[in-house]
Structure 1
């Protein structure tokens, strides 16, 4: 009887999970790219769909809606650093998912993922949040012990209330899934179609040598490997070999720290950089320009 009573206590959880799945299902689409398929989530009722950048290598795709209608889609935005893509389909009144705040997540919370792994339509998996992003991470990613497989990419991670808290991006190892937090996705959506802040540099994360680290009091930074002619960085006097170690007194260790600072800079604003040049610290002010987003920003290097 003990086993039966335990199962009885779990019945409300099972019913709650089933209810979340039923509510979420119409908002999860299949994205067909010609060479395979992934998942996506209807972000807004006017036809905006979010998925992973790697799910849609081209500018066009086909989207299978929950109604089983297949409609053409075009890519209207990309964020290669965070592996995000936005598609637009010619439909109105779509069943958009409810979006939650990933910053409210805590380790141990229940999360669910829905996608189309190995051709299984709208398959559901349940797990818990294992770890949350930190400032030391190269990318902001939620870790969860969800069992994902090819076909889950681009689908939603949701909390126990069915609110989207992430976009499933990859499997780090069996039983460890990584998702882009919903607040990162929301920021991406806000800036779709807007000219991007731009410095005109390519930079690579570096760890400083121990002697220099002791002398300047910082352990890492972004080394500039190229400066675009005629760009804001060149105008400010930045040179290849300079190492950016702080922006407005905030440490810079990864490309995302620079890109986040750029995104926060209003039009006409400046960035206050602390750089190392020849082992000596310098301060420079750079006024970012605005231009269309670049097509390629590899994860290990940042074009800003």
Structure 2
């Protein structure tokens, strides 16, 4: 399943991102494979409800607030292990939340220090429809798009229910945003919360 995912992303990039160098494109399967180690599924008693990703080895996970506000949620690690999750920080306006699970060895994703750039290639990783890890490719279509009370990144990478809370990655595997499936308005138009908002929320923790 994951091998088909990598191949699909590679073909999509070759067709849609012809301006990329072959070195960049050939690195994509490895980027997805490495990032997948830090991707988790957010679930409750009714099943999968979204995606999250580790931002620190000591059990900190970023996701969307509209997912994290559910009662009695738990996290499913890439290993398949289930862990109860506690909400430790939130920004309701930005639809961001940080969860904590009892783990000390999570594979965390790198938060990029610079802002997204219009036209740069991106990867959206998540758990759409509860099908397991899925990756889609696209570009940053626009910046500063006003959604609710926040300015978000617009992308044409495919985003579906269950992608919410997953990372939007650059070509090197750094997080540039948090996919906000709740704001997606149609095919080819998806949104992500800029990574700076994640960094600010993380820095607010005691």
TM-score, length of structure 2 as denominator length:
0.83
* Partner residue of 1:24 out of 32, 35, 43: 35
Ranked by relative contact order (alpha carbons within 8 Å, sequence separation 6 or more), the top structure is 2
> Is 1:106–2:113 an aligned residue pair?
no
When the two structures are aligned, how many residues end up with a matched partner? Answer: 186
Question: 1:89-104, aligned counterparts within 5 Å?
Answer: 89-103=101-115
* Cα drift, residue 55 of structure 1: 1.1
TM-score, length of structure 1 as denominator length:
0.57
1:60/1:75 contact within 8 Å kept = no
* Partner residue of 2:205 out of 189, 192, 198: 192
What RMSD over aligned residues (CA atoms) do the two structures have, in Å? 2.3
* Partner residue of 1:51 out of 56, 63, 69: 63
1:61/1:72 contact within 8 Å kept = yes
Question: 1:63-212, aligned counterparts within 5 Å?
Answer: 63-103=75-115, 105-133=116-144, 138-170=149-181, 171-192=184-205
Deviation digits for residues 120-164 of structure 1 (CA, Å, limit 9, x no counterpart): 211000000001117998412010111110110000001001000
CA shift in 2, pair 1:147/1:98, >3 Å: same
Secondary structure of the structure 1 residue equivalent to 2:85: strand
* Cα drift, residue 37 of structure 1: 1.7
2:51/2:163 contact within 8 Å kept = yes
Larger radius of gyration between Structure 1 and Structure 2: 1
2:145/2:154 contact within 8 Å kept = no
1:59/1:74 contact within 8 Å kept = no
For structure 2, the 5+ residue unaligned runs are 1-13
* Cα drift, residue 12 of structure 1: 4.1
Match of 2:7 in 1: none
For structure 1, the 5+ residue unaligned runs are 1-5, 194-304
Aligned-partner Cα distance in 2 for 1:60–1:136? 28
